[in-house]
Amino acid sequence: MLRPFFQKLGMTLEMIKFEHSVFALPFALTAVVLAVRSGQAGPGSLGGKLFWIVVAMVAARSAAMTFNRLVDARIDGLNPRTRSRHLPARLLSRSFAWAFLAVSAAIFLVAAGQLNRLCFLLAPVALGIVFVYSFTKRFTAFSHFVLGFALGVAPAAAWIAMTGSLDARVLWLTAAVTLWTAGFDIIYACQDYEFDRAAGLFSVPARLGLRRALLAARMLHAGMVLCLVFLSYRFGLGSLSLAGIAMVAALLVYEHSLVKANDLSRVNAAFFTVNGYVSVLFFCFWAADAWLSLSGRA
């Protein structure tokens, strides 16, 4: 009885790329560190809240990705690149996917309720944002920015989880994650340039062409770096935060060197590998900066 269930669960986690939950999580944890460093959240509350923040983020992403796969199943079945995904290939039933989505959403709501009242009240709004994204490529090329904002709210949500309110300064981090995500999603969408145009779907590559789409992605990533510089300034951070920004900039330059309009063979390396390093290394540098600052005050 249990073996088929765990096989389906394993396929579901594979379908939603569960391991890529790491993309936005380090940026949310950076907001946690900044809240503690600013004195708006005490280190004593860190342990329990950190657990529920991680649970909430992973559950929200799991629900969002499952919803996206369900909504896009028909389109995925028509696209040669995606027709082997679990739902269009009938490797996984829609009923199991819907059940997994419902459980993930419920866990997210429970986690939000464990954090504070404002988090719980805003939780349905957060789910609404991540669910709406799945429909946007049917009517707007700004779908990449909707996805970016869906991930970008994570740092602001983590700040609210830690403090019970919102500090406008952390919105620079929301803007940075939004631009970063929109940029790498445009790169990823280049793979479907011809299919999107034929199917009447909306994306920046379909609208602008591959060369101009990749240029737009570069501009967005440059904007991300500027947002991080402003964020560092607004919080009065030190040299390690600037070193982290320099590391992010270098990785983004490398990411763009991997992808050319006439050669998309390394998109997956640019999308999955490099962006994982971007978020994790950024957090490490900024957490170290904040730790040195707190140690200096002790």
User: How much is the pLDDT for 24?
Assistant: 85
**pLDDT over 60 (residue 297):** no
Which has the higher per-residue pLDDT, 150 or 20? Answer: 150
Residue 17: predicted pLDDT: 87
CB 150 within 8 A of CB 178: no
If pLDDT is split at 50, 70 and 90, which confidence band does 293 have? Answer: confident
Confidence of residue 180 (pLDDT cuts 50, 70, 90): very high
Q: What is the mean pLDDT of residues 177-193?
A: 96
Residue 3 has pLDDT above 90, yes or no: no
Q: Measured between alpha carbons, how far is residue 154 from residues 16, 34, 121, 131, 248 in Å?
A: 18, 14, 15, 15, 19
Are 206 and 79 spatial neighbours (Cβ–Cβ below 8 Å)?
A: no
Strand partners, 260: 263
Q: Which fold has domain 14-297?
A: Tetracycline Repressor; domain 2 (1.10.357)
Distance, in Å, from the CA atom of 162 to the CA atom of 49, rounded to the nearest integer, reads 7
Query: Confidence band (pLDDT; 50, 70, 90) for 45?
Result: low
Whether pLDDT at 10 is above 60: yes
Q: State the pLDDT at residue 296.
A: 60
At residue 292, the pLDDT reads 86
Q: Which residue has the higher pLDDT, 42 or 59?
A: 59
How does residue 42 score in pLDDT terms, banded at 50, 70 and 90? Answer: low
Read off the tokens for 121.
């009240």
Closest CA to 74 of 82, 63, 66, 62: 82
Torsion angle in degrees (nearest 10) through CA of 131, 185, 56, 174: -100
Q: What is the pTM of this model?
A: 0.94
pLDDT at 92: 95
Question: What CA–CA distance (Å, rounded) separates 125 from 244?
Answer: 32
Kindly state the average pLDDT of the residues 188-210: 96
Do residues 218 and 256 make contact, with C-beta atoms less than 8 angstroms apart?
yes
Domain boundaries, the chain: 14-297
pLDDT-derived band at 44 (thresholds 50, 70, 90) equals low
Reported confidence tier of residue 23, pLDDT bands at 50, 70, 90:
confident
How many residues make up the chain in this entry?
298
In this prediction, residues 148-177 reach a mean pLDDT of 96
The mean pLDDT of the chain is: 93
pLDDT tens digits, one per residue of 212-263: 999 999 999 999 999 999 999 999 999 999 999 999 999 999 999 999 999 9
